[in-house]
Amino acid sequence: MKIAIAGTGYVGLVTGVCLADKGGHNIICVDVNEEKINMLKSGKSPIYEKDLDELILKTNRQGNIEYTSNYECAYSDADVVFIAVGTPERSDGSANLDYIKGVAKQIAVSAEKDILVIVKSTVPIGTNEYIENYIKSQLKNNIKVEVASNPEFLAQGTAVRDTFEASRIVIGVESKWAENIMLDIYKNFENPKVITNRNSAEMIKYACNDFLALKVSYMNDIANLCEIVGANIEDVAEGMSYDDRIGKNFLKAGIGYGGSCFPKDTKALHWLSNSNGYELKTIKAAIEVNEIQKLKLVKKSAQIVDSFDGIKVSILGLTYKPDTDDLREAPSIVNIKYLLERNAKIHVFDPVGMENAKKIFGDQIYYEDSIESAIDDSEMCFIMTEWEQIKEFDINKYKKLMKKPLVFDGRNCYKIEDMKKVGVEYYSIGRV
Ligand code: UDX
């Protein structure tokens, strides 16, 4: 089959490269961004993602994957087009479908033979049906078109592994024709397949992301209570983790969840629910807890110092989680804004997120090339991401290098006793 993929972001690119690696089909990845396409043609990944560079080189050599910015060529004779473009959030929390509609229109005017359009992007329930009707209304040629839902569950940093070892492949279809094509696409993937209708497939994606966001917010809520009543969230989480009904993942309390999915998808489902006359109280609570959690430590620090005016503050870790260069909705952003408004001199360090931070903060903050230079002579330090490099840092250096050894750790990177021993005033999450 000839499979076109619209969008070379995390979802589209990883899907394309993994499908190519499994063989059996010809893949063509399409993106409007020429610079990205040229990078990919030369075997380089435009995003930082483990194992992706090698896989791009390998599949380029294999020869069953192409990259292009010419959508007409790509879609004209494609059997299938995956739509994997972004669905950013609008100011009211709803999902913006402009990019998806843009691609749908391109498919409608370019496709010359029967085509199955597969939506991988996370979209509100009912969107697949809407897109199908939209494409049909714009069709240039008299061909058969159907839209199927195939939501993506990959997490950044483990995207390639998550695709090859997917716990399940969700297939939302309305006909046997579409189902058979979907099964053919994934014929070389052994993973369990869940076949359902389109609306349920769309809901599975939101229900998963929002449940995980709720789980994290629940743990953050419990962590805050732990601090008040003198319990330890890490022991509590461990005690919970042995219960199969709860599971051991996503029990880590911290400075709040971020990224391109949880914040957006919680708001989108809440919005969708409201617009259907139903209030999703659980998800509303998850959103609220997260907003408060993100500023928890900086607000605690404000009670300790008289003023942030002119003082050197270090921030270690900027990305929303380790092993990614992505800062979207990262807790570091709101914290840096809070400190900038109060005139702090902010010195930051992140192993891979600095370039993206520069795009947001420009010359308003100082970018350091090591943890040491970020904390040197500083009066307080915030840890926002649990990078290995930060967890393995010699904690004696906080005492040695900082003007005042005051550390606020949003990711519980160190043991409280160890920090006490080296003479650091240390605040973390859910531990006393
Ligand atoms: C998530 C989903 O996991 C993935 O299936 C979906 O397709 C996209 O959204 P991602 O955003 O890449 O993936 O990262 P994830 O590892 O899920 O973490 C999301 C956020 O939750 C991060 O900010 C992380 O720090 C936070 N988190 C996660 C916690 O605070 N505690 C945890 O125990 C787990």
C-beta separation of 317 from 350 below 8 A: yes
Instruction: Give the residues of the chain that fall short of pLDDT 50.
Output: none
Record the pTM. Answer: 0.94
pLDDT at residue 340, as a whole number: 98
To test ligand 1's pocket by mutation, which of 47, 153, 262 has the most ligand atoms within 8 angstroms of CB? 262
Ligand 1 close to Cβ of residue 351 (< 6 A) = no
DSSP helix/strand/coil, 164: helix
Write the residue with the smallest CA distance to atom 33 of ligand 1.
250
Region 204-294: CATH code: 1.10.1040.10
Ligand 1 close to Cβ of residue 218 (< 6 A) = no
Write the residue with the smallest CA distance to atom 13 of ligand 1.
155
Ligand 1 close to Cβ of residue 153 (< 6 A) = yes
Write the residue with the smallest CA distance to atom 7 of ligand 1.
153
Ligand 1 close to Cβ of residue 152 (< 6 A) = yes
pLDDT at residue 89, as a whole number: 86
Ligand 1 close to Cβ of residue 264 (< 6 A) = no
Ligand 1 close to Cβ of residue 209 (< 6 A) = yes
Ligand 1 close to Cβ of residue 215 (< 6 A) = no
- How many Cα atoms are found within 13 Å in the side-chain-facing hemisphere of 118? 27
| Measured distance CA(96)–CA(365) in Å, rounded | 31
pLDDT at residue 95, as a whole number: 86
pLDDT at residue 281, as a whole number: 98
The CA–CA distances, whole Å, from 2 to 53, 148, 204, 259 equal: 23, 17, 28, 32
| Measured distance CA(124)–CA(110) in Å, rounded | 26
pLDDT at residue 233, as a whole number: 98
pLDDT at residue 94, as a whole number: 87
Phi (first) and psi of residue 125, to 5 degrees: -60, 130
pLDDT at residue 382, as a whole number: 98
**2-196, CATH topology level:** Rossmann fold (3.40.50)
pLDDT at residue 242, as a whole number: 98
Q: Measure 21 CA to ligand 1 centroid, in angstroms.
A: 26
Write the residue with the smallest CA distance to atom 25 of ligand 1.
321
Q: Measure 155 CA to ligand 1 centroid, in angstroms.
A: 7
Write the residue with the smallest CA distance to atom 21 of ligand 1.
257
Residue bearing tokens 């969700």: 170
Write the residue with the smallest CA distance to atom 9 of ligand 1.
261
| Measured distance CA(432)–CA(426) in Å, rounded | 10
C-beta separation of 83 from 100 below 8 A: yes
What pairs with residue 204 in β-bridges? none
Q: Measure 418 CA to ligand 1 centroid, in angstroms.
A: 28
Task: State in words which class domain 296-427 has.
Answer: alpha beta
To the query of whether residue 413 is one of the catalytic residues in this protein, the response is no
C-beta separation of 429 from 230 below 8 A: no
pLDDT at residue 27, as a whole number: 98
pLDDT at residue 93, as a whole number: 83
pLDDT at residue 323, as a whole number: 92
What pairs with residue 165 in β-bridges? none
Annotated catalytic residue, options 18, 29, 261, 413: 261
Would you tell me the crossing angle of helices 98-110 and 127-138 to the nearest 10 degrees?
40
pLDDT at residue 216, as a whole number: 98
* Closest of 320, 347, 351 to residue 336, by C-alpha: 347
Per domain, the residue ranges of the chain are 2-196, 204-294, 296-427
Ligand 1 close to Cβ of residue 261 (< 6 A) = yes
Condensed to tens digits (0 to 9), the pLDDT of residues 169-219 reads: 999 999 999 999 999 999 999 999 999 999 999 999 999 999 999 999 999
Check the CA dihedral 289-295-299-300 and report its sign: positive
| Measured distance CA(269)–CA(258) in Å, rounded | 16
Q: Do domains 2-196 and 204-294 have the same CATH topology?
A: no
C-beta separation of 24 from 103 below 8 A: no
To test ligand 1's pocket by mutation, which of 10, 216, 290, 293 has the most ligand atoms within 8 angstroms of CB? 216
Condensed to tens digits (0 to 9), the pLDDT of residues 318-344 reads: 999 999 999 999 999 999 999 999 999
Q: Measure 64 CA to ligand 1 centroid, in angstroms.
A: 32
